[in-house]
């Protein structure tokens, strides 16, 4: 049969037309559509039953109440709990992104590890728990038997009254070491002030829920100060229009931070001179006679001139203030107009519940002790202590302890000796002391170093010394759940669970105005081969034996917690049920929810996640356990230690202003903090990178802030690359011009330049903490870091 061309064309055309009435082309197009909706590399979240779980957040020592949304066992969202008194519905961006910190494998230590590369590179190799324990036990045994138990040192960033921290100290004590170091933060300073002015060894709190006038000396209320969830929530209340009396916020700092911009008034002040302004305000109050005369007369010592036991007469606080802090003197020091001082004083007088706050930025970097005393003295002359809306200095949480510590002969002998690195008068040494000793001392002061929830690489000024010092430490063990920057220097990792995977607790959430104990059970199954810190310590103790084992008679960390809680229950004070009336109403709790049955109470406590004891007017009235039994403007405690602190005059026992010695040349270099970027121990969840503006971080470049006038003088423009050099070292930045910056001062954000974690944080920007130069606070020994002078050069 012949097929000619005409037929062929007919066939082809017919075929094409025909195919269109078959399903084939339509099915193919439908298939294509389905492919484009189901690309295999696009994750499909697993389905399952939706559940809810309640917990607290301990990414900072805040203990905010949070709610988790779970799909089967997977956490998919975190919300704040409205009914939880601590944060009353508020949460910070770091807490909101907490699940990323749980699940991002590269952010965490997923199993025990040992160092697999040069020290400081953060290269690790997986090992088993057995191997990790045996390496550590071998070393600890050798150290104890052959060398000196005091060569085991601990850097402890855990909350001080927490059970984990108690266990750490217990371990150290039973081992025979007194080499205990904390981070030099504002908490340390606050406790020092609380001790030397009020005689109380404990943290201070602020009853901000009742304050109607907040005079903040640099406290970054919107930058993450205090418990950020709580403070941000309060901010919303303070700014509520028309509902209740208006709360006024006055912010005193050199930079137009968010807090300064959104406060009712911003007072621009020369950096570091806050104490002078505070005392100038006190003088104004005294001058007008409009201070709380009753409180001052009844409950304070050292206000007027006084005579000591030897018959010598001494200047009192009032004399000091009246002489040295006249409006003109204060104006010349601080740059603040005397009219402003008078205005603040009159506002303080007419406010019902004013409060003065301190703590630059997030208050992770510490203030000075005298400085804090000076600001706090505003509260004192107004009698704003242990009163609604004021400073709460006594918050006792009647938890039990962990029982007696058993010290064997070796431990006893060792502990009788002086500490290798002596602490100051506060009795608590901090990391800066340790680093200095490592670098300066000829004899070794540490052989094995433990790191607990501490990341001084980022949180400690002059952290460039850390690198030098840590390289000299023979063996470093980190218990961190995160691959943090300081842990990059470790030799052995025994990783903790992530926070939602373990029992969490906070004793006295930071800055809260009433006694509280937040606790939650694990809400997520452990994602990796980690172990809760408490259990690790118990097991470590068990394997070491030698009396250390006896000091840890707990089967588990949970058991230890229950042991402490049972004392709380038997005390029958406070409430483990969240009451209708919030605790800042200063009324006693009606139904405490405590039944006196350990098991039932424990379950109830884990359900509410909170024990708390609201203040009442009666309970707040305390006898100050100082030498004078009063609040001391002149600290007799300091008098006792006057040689140790180098006190030469009466002034050195009182709040006063002393300028930091800085070089004449150069620009003042100040770090600033952001609420949406972590400069503390916990890393920024990757989501936070979306919230950082490109005038702060662009690709790998961090920007410093310069006032346009200063930039003009320097000859730099927006976007220029510059080198900033202090005595300690140099860092590269790009320049951002902004009128938020005080002319002549350079600002840069903290918390960048990470060397740990993963691609979301690593190597982005530079770590400002490394080049901050510090002087030593004469009382607490903590770093005074706001005097760093730098040179800037275009590169």
Partner 1 sequence: MGKLSEHKGPKYGMVIDLDKCTGCGTCMVACAHENNLSVRPDESDIQRKLTWMRLYMVTNGEAYPKTEVSYFPRPCMQCDHHTPCVSVCPATATDYDINTGIVSQIYTRCIGCRYCMAACPYHARVFNWWDGYFPKGKGLERYLSPEVSVRMRGVVEKCTFCHHRLMRAKTKAYNEGRRELEEDEYITACTEACPANAITFGDLNNPEHKVSKLIKSPYAFRLLERLGTQPKVYYLSKKEWVRKLGDNYLPGEFKPVNPPKA
Partner 2 sequence: MNPFDAALFPEGTKRCSLKLFIAWNIPWILLLLWGLVGAVLCLYKGLNQTNMTDYFAFALWIVFDLAVIALGAGAFFTGFLTYIIGKKELKDIINAAVLIGFICYSGAIAMLGIDIGQPLRGWFIFWHVNVHSMLAEVSFCITAYLGVLAIEYLPIILENRQIQRIKELRLFGNNLHEIMAMFAATGTFLSFFHQGSLGGLFGVMYARPFAYREGFYVWPWTFFLFVLSAIAAGPCFTILCTRLAEFITRKKLVPDKAVQTLAKIAAYLTGIYVLLKIVDTLVWAYKLTPKAGLTLMDYYKEGPYGIWLLIAEVIIFGIIPAIILLIPKARQHPGWLVVACLMNCTGIVLNRFVFTVVTLAIPVMPFGRFVSYWPTWQEWGIALALVGYGFLLFSLSYRYLPLFPKERELNP
**Least CB distance to partner 1 at residue 104 (A):** 6
Identify the bridge partners of residue 448 per DSSP, sorted by sequence position: 152, 475
Considering only residues 36-65, where is the footprint of partner 2 by CB under 8 A?
36
Determine contact, residues 264/251, Cβ cutoff 8 Å: no
Confirm or reject binding of residue 417 to partner 2 (CB under 8 A). Answer: no
Residue 238 CA to residue 156 CA, distance in Å, equals: 36
Considering only residues 755-784, where is the footprint of partner 1 by CB under 8 A?
759-760
Considering only residues 477-496, where is the footprint of partner 2 by CB under 8 A?
none
DSSP state of 596: S
Quick one: 43 or 118, whose CB is closer to partner 2? Answer: 43
First vs last C-alpha separation in the chain? 86
Considering only residues 73-92, where is the footprint of partner 1 by CB under 8 A?
74-80, 87, 89-92
Output the six-digit token pair for 155: 């850097």
Considering only residues 274-313, where is the footprint of partner 1 by CB under 8 A?
none
Considering only residues 197-236, where is the footprint of partner 2 by CB under 8 A?
none
Handedness of CA 513, 519, 523, 525 (dihedral sign): positive
35 binds, among partner 2, partner 1, none (CB under 5 to 8 A by kind): partner 2
Applying CB under 8 A, which of residues 12, 14, 20, 35 lies at the interface with partner 2?
35
Confirm or reject binding of residue 142 to partner 1 (CB under 8 A). Answer: no
**Least CB distance to partner 1 at residue 351 (A):** 20
698 binds, among partner 2, partner 1, none (CB under 5 to 8 A by kind): partner 1
Tell which residue, 662, 656, 180, has the closest CA to residue 422.
180
Applying CB under 8 A, which of residues 322, 628, 740, 776 lies at the interface with partner 1?
740
48 binds, among partner 1, partner 2, none (CB under 5 to 8 A by kind): partner 1
Confirm or reject binding of residue 344 to partner 1 (CB under 8 A). Answer: no
Beta strands in 84-221 (DSSP E): 113-115, 124-126, 152-156, 179-182, 205-206, 213-217
Residue 149 CA to residue 332 CA, distance in Å, equals: 53
Confirm or reject binding of residue 42 to partner 1 (CB under 8 A). Answer: yes
**Least CB distance to partner 1 at residue 770 (A):** 22
Considering only residues 77-96, where is the footprint of partner 2 by CB under 8 A?
none
Confirm or reject binding of residue 752 to partner 1 (CB under 8 A). Answer: no
Confirm or reject binding of residue 258 to partner 1 (CB under 8 A). Answer: yes
If DSSP states are collapsed to H, E and C, what string results for 318-352? HHHHHHHCCHHHHHHHHCCCHHHHHHHHHHHHHCC
Query: In sequence order, what are the residues at sequence separation of 6 or more whose Cβ sits closer than 8 angstroms to the Cβ of residue 398?
Result: 567, 568, 571, 573, 574
29 binds, among partner 2, partner 1, none (CB under 5 to 8 A by kind): partner 2
Residue 265 CA to residue 244 CA, distance in Å, equals: 20
**Least CB distance to partner 2 at residue 260 (A):** 20
Confirm or reject binding of residue 6 to partner 2 (CB under 8 A). Answer: yes
Considering only residues 363-422, where is the footprint of partner 1 by CB under 8 A?
none
Applying CB under 8 A, which of residues 53, 137, 268, 324 lies at the interface with partner 1?
268
Confirm or reject binding of residue 13 to partner 2 (CB under 8 A). Answer: no
Tell which residue, 613, 633, 614, has the closest CA to residue 624.
633
Tell which residue, 397, 395, 402, 396, has the closest CA to residue 605.
397
Residue 447 CA to residue 139 CA, distance in Å, equals: 10
Output the six-digit token pair for 52: 């809810």
Quick one: 243 or 661, whose CB is closer to partner 1? Answer: 243
Residue 210 CA to residue 189 CA, distance in Å, equals: 24
Applying CB under 8 A, which of residues 419, 636, 698, 730 lies at the interface with partner 1?
698
32 binds, among partner 2, partner 1, none (CB under 5 to 8 A by kind): partner 2
Considering only residues 132-161, where is the footprint of partner 2 by CB under 8 A?
none
- φ/ψ of 556, rounded to 5, equals -155, 170
Considering only residues 178-237, where is the footprint of partner 1 by CB under 8 A?
222, 228-229, 232-233, 235-237
Applying CB under 8 A, which of residues 240, 297, 332, 350 lies at the interface with partner 1?
240
Choices 37-45, 321-329, 536-544, 769-777 (CB under 8 A): range interacting with partner 1: 37-45
Applying CB under 8 A, which of residues 12, 19, 33, 293 lies at the interface with partner 2?
33
Confirm or reject binding of residue 339 to partner 1 (CB under 8 A). Answer: no
Confirm or reject binding of residue 245 to partner 1 (CB under 8 A). Answer: no
**Least CB distance to partner 1 at residue 500 (A):** 11
* DSSP assignment of 361-382: BTS-S---HHHHHHHHHHHHHT
Residue 150 CA to residue 178 CA, distance in Å, equals: 6
Identify the bridge partners of residue 492 per DSSP, sorted by sequence position: 114, 477
Confirm or reject binding of residue 9 to partner 2 (CB under 8 A). Answer: yes
Residue 454 CA to residue 470 CA, distance in Å, equals: 14
Confirm or reject binding of residue 96 to partner 1 (CB under 8 A). Answer: yes
Quick one: 100 or 287, whose CB is closer to partner 1? Answer: 100
Confirm or reject binding of residue 5 to partner 2 (CB under 8 A). Answer: yes
Question: What is the number of other CB atoms lying within 10 angstroms of the CB of residue 415?
Answer: 18
**Least CB distance to partner 2 at residue 693 (A):** 12
Quick one: 31 or 581, whose CB is closer to partner 2? Answer: 31
5 binds, among partner 2, partner 1, none (CB under 5 to 8 A by kind): partner 2
Determine contact, residues 786/660, Cβ cutoff 8 Å: yes
**Least CB distance to partner 1 at residue 92 (A):** 6
Residue 612 CA to residue 699 CA, distance in Å, equals: 46
Residue 741 CA to residue 787 CA, distance in Å, equals: 16
Question: How many chain residues interact with partner 1 (CB under 8 A)?
Answer: 77
Quick one: 246 or 590, whose CB is closer to partner 1? Answer: 246
> For the stretch 244-279, what's the b/e string if a residue is b when 16 or more beta carbons lie within 10 angstroms of its beta carbon?
eeebbbbbbbbbbbbbbeebeebbbbbbbbbbbbbb
Residue 602 CA to residue 604 CA, distance in Å, equals: 5
Considering only residues 699-718, where is the footprint of partner 1 by CB under 8 A?
699, 707
Residue 739 CA to residue 734 CA, distance in Å, equals: 16
222 binds, among partner 2, partner 1, none (CB under 5 to 8 A by kind): partner 1
Element (H, E) at 50: strand 50-57
Residue 794 CA to residue 673 CA, distance in Å, equals: 25
Question: How many chain residues interact with partner 2 (CB under 8 A)?
Answer: 8
Output the six-digit token pair for 381: 């002359």
Confirm or reject binding of residue 531 to partner 1 (CB under 8 A). Answer: no
Output the six-digit token pair for 131: 């191997």
**Least CB distance to partner 1 at residue 486 (A):** 23
Considering only residues 57-76, where is the footprint of partner 1 by CB under 8 A?
69, 71, 74-76
- Interface with partner 2 by CB under 8 A: which residues? 5-6, 9, 29, 32-33, 35-36
């Amino acid at each position: 049969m012949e097929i000619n061309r005409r037929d062929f064309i007919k066939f082809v055309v017919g075929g094409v037309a025909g195919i269109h009435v078959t399903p084939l082309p339509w099915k193919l197009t439908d298939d294509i559509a389905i492919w484009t909706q189901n690309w295999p590399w696009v994750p499909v979240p697993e389905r399952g039953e939706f559940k809810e779980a309640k917990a607290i957040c301990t990414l900072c020592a805040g203990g905010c109440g949070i709610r988790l949304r779970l799909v089967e066992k997977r956490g998919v969202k975190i919300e704040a709990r409205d009914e939880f008194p601590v944060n009353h519905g508020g949460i910070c961006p770091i807490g909101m992104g907490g699940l990323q910190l749980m699940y991002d494998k590269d952010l965490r230590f997923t199993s025990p590890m040992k160092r697999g590369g040069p020290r400081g590179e953060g290269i690790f190799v997986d090992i088993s728990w057995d191997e990790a324990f045996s390496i550590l036990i071998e070393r600890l045994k050798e150290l104890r038997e052959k060398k000196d138990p005091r060569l085991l040192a601990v850097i402890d960033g855990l909350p001080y009254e927490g059970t984990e921290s108690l266990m750490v100290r217990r371990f150290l004590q039973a081992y025979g070491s007194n080499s205990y170091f904390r981070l030099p933060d504002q908490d340390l300073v606050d406790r020092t002030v609380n001790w030397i002015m009020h005689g109380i060894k404990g943290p201070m709190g602020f009853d901000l829920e009742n304050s109607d006038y907040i005079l903040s000396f640099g406290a970054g209320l919107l930058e993450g100060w205090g418990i950020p969830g709580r403070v941000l929530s309060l901010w919303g209340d303070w700014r509520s229009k028309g509902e209740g009396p208006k709360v006024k916020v006055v912010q005193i700092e050199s930079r137009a931070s968010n807090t300064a911009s959104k406060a009712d008034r911003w007072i621009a002040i020369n950096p570091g001179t806050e104490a002078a302004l505070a005392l100038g305000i006190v003088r104004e109050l005294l001058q007008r006679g409009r201070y709380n005369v009753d409180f001052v007369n009844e409950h304070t010592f050292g206000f007027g001139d006084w005579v000591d036991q030897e018959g010598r007469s001494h200047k009192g606080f009032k004399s000091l203030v009246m002489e040295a802090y006249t409006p003109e003197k204060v104006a010349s020091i601080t740059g603040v107009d005397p009219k402003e001082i008078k205005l603040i004083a009159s506002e303080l007088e007419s406010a019902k519940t004013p409060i003065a706050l301190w703590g630059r930025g997030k208050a992770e970097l510490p203030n000075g002790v005298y400085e804090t005393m000076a600001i706090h003295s505003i509260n004192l002359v107004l009698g704003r202590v242990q009163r609604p809306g004021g400073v709460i200095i006594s918050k006792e949480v009647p938890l039990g302890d962990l029982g007696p510590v058993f010290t064997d002969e070796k431990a006893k002998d060792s502990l009788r000796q002086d500490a290798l690195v002596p602490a100051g008068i506060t009795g608590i040494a901090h990391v800066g002391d340790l680093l200095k000793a490592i670098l300066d001392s000829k004899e070794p002061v540490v052989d094995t170093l433990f790191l607990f929830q501490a990341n001084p690489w980022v949180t400690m000024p002059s952290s460039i010394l850390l690198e030098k010092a840590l390289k000299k430490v023979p063996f470093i063990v980190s218990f961190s759940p995160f691959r943090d920057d300081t842990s990059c220097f470790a030799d052995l990792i025994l990783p903790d669970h992530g926070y939602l995977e373990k029992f969490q607790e906070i004793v006295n959430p930071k800055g809260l105005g009433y006694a509280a104990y937040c606790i939650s059970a694990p809400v997520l199954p452990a994602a990796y081969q980690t172990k809760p810190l408490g259990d690790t310590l118990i097991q470590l103790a068990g394997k070491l034996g030698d009396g250390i084992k006896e000091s840890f008679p707990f089967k588990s960390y949970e058991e230890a917690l229950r042991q402490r809680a049972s004392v709380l229950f038997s005390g029958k004070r406070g409430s483990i049920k969240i009451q209708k009336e919030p605790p800042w109403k200063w009324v006693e709790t009606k139904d405490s929810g405590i039944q006196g049955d350990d098991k039932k109470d424990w379950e109830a406590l884990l359900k509410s996640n909170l024990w708390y004891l609201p203040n009442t007017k009666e309970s707040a009235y305390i006898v100050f356990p100082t030498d004078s039994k009063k609040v001391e403007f002149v600290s007799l405690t300091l008098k006792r230690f006057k040689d140790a602190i180098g006190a030469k005059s009466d002034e050195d026992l009182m709040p006063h202003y002393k300028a930091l010695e800085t070089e004449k040349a150069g620009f003042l270099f100040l770090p600033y903090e952001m609420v949406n970027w972590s400069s503390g121990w916990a890393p920024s969840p990757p989501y936070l990178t979306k919230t950082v503006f490109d005038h702060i971080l662009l690709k790998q470049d961090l920007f410093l802030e310069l006032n346009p006038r200063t930039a003009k003088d320097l000859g730099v423009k927006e976007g220029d690359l510059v080198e900033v050099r202090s005595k300690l070292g140099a860092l590269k930045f790009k320049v951002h011009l902004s009128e938020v910056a005080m002319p002549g001062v350079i600002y840069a954000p903290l918390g960048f330049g990470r060397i740990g974690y993963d691609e979301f944080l690593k190597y982005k920007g530079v770590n400002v903490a490394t080049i901050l130069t510090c002087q030593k606070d004469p009382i607490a020994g903590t770093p005074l870091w706001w005097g760093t002078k730098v040179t800037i050069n275009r590169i």
